[in-house]
């Protein structure tokens, strides 16, 4: 069954790489066409997600194809594989949390407008947050880059391996020289780094659902005065955040449950391909969903073309006051 499992994993990786490259490339160019003036926080987050998605597919999945083809990975390849896989997974969750929180804030401003003067430095603040997330992700994953190695022999007979160390994780292990440190770092710390932001992300999306319900009540109560192009973009971005939260949460939980709570997965030839699809599915599917954010109205593809041709609009009026 092993050749069949390797072939299925190669096919799954190739499909994910192709779908991800096409989707992220389209997302990059469609988002770039919408940029007029300073880089908006939502665009900055989309570009960050594009880079993370491409990094996962062009590094992790290509190395998985090499591994499944029969080529052995050396210690350097193991370091790169485990580091990139962990880093891209963490950053995808963190950026999605920031993305959902951003649109929750925008949606809250529409439904509960404030008389206070808007903060004009919000773009710099979001840039700092994105930079901090990148730096934090690298700092957390440095031990993986430093201590991951390819063991000379596997100690499967002594019963020390956990059920979630299978496949590549068996050949590329983190070795601190202390089993307790390895357990707390790899099995508890790295899991909590993903699980806690996912829990907060679900809470933020429930808040978005409540705000959308409030907006619906206002609309049916004949209080709502209508929606301009910027508000449509915010409502669409909020709904996209909900879809992406359901996607990334279901994929992460499914992958975690399979790898850590089910034994004898090696006997099923489709399991490696399934695990690859679960771990990289978000990077392949999410770009197509994110492209919905920049689609404004029926006659405007990806960005407001009419506003570019119009000469009657005052130059001091912002087309998207909440961006």
What would the pLDDT profile of 156-171 be if each residue is shown by its tens digit? 434 434 334 345 555 6
Q: Give me the phi and psi of 174, to 5 degrees please.
A: -85, 125
* Distance, CA of 15 to CA of 103 (rounded, Å): 31
Which helix (H) or strand (E) is 173 found in, with range?
strand 173-174
Closest CA to 198 of 136, 258, 246, 144: 246
Domain segments of the chain as ranges: 2-113+133-152+162-305
* Distance, CA of 97 to CA of 155 (rounded, Å): 39
- pTM, two decimal places: 0.81
| Residue 133, C-beta contacts closer than 8 angstroms, at least 6 positions apart | 91, 94, 95, 98
pLDDT digits (tens, 9 = 90+) for 264-306: 666 677 888 898 999 999 999 999 998 877 654 333 334 444 4
> Contact, 65 vs 14, CB < 8 A?
yes
**Structure token digits, residue 140:** 């957390």
Asked: is 2-113+133-152+162-305 a CATH 1.20.1070.10 domain? The reply is: yes
């Amino acid at each position: 069954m092993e050749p069949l499992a390797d072939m299925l994993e190669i096919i799954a990786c190739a499909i994910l790489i192709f779908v991800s490259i096409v989707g992220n490339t389209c997302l990059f160019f469609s988002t770039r066409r919408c940029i007029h003036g300073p880089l908006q926080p939502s665009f900055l987050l989309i570009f960050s997600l594009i880079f993370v998605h491409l990094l996962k597919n062009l590094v992790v999945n290509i190395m998985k194809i090499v591994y499944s083809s029969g080529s052995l990975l050396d210690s350097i390849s193991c370091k790169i594989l485990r580091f990139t896989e962990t880093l891209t997974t963490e950053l995808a969750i963190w950026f999605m949390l920031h993305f959902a929180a951003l649109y929750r804030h925008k949606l809250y401003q529409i439904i509960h407008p404030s008389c206070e003067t808007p903060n004009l430095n919000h773009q710099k603040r979001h840039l700092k947050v994105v930079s901090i997330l990148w730096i934090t992700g690298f700092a957390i994953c440095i031990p993986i880059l430093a201590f991951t190695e390819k063991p000379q022999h596997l100690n499967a007979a002594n019963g020390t391996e956990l059920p979630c160390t299978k496949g590549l994780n068996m050949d590329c292990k983190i070795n601190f020289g202390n089993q307790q440190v390895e357990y707390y770092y790899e099995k508890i710390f790295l899991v909590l780094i993903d699980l806690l932001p996912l829990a907060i992300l679900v809470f933020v999306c429930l808040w978005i659902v409540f705000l959308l319900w409030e907006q619906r009540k206002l609309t049916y109560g004949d209080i709502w005065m209508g929606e301009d192009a910027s508000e449509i973009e915010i409502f669409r971005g909020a709904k996209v955040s909900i879809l992406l939260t359901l996607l990334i949460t279901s994929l992460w939980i499914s992958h975690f449950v399979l790898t850590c709570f089910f034994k004898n997965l090696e006997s099923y030839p489709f399991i490696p391909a399934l695990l690859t699809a679960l771990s990289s599915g978000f990077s392949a599917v999410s770009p197509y969903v994110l492209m919905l954010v920049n689609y404004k109205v029926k006659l405007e593809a990806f960005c407001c073309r009419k506003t570019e041709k119009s000469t009657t609009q005052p130059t001091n009026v912002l087309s998207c006051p909440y961006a």
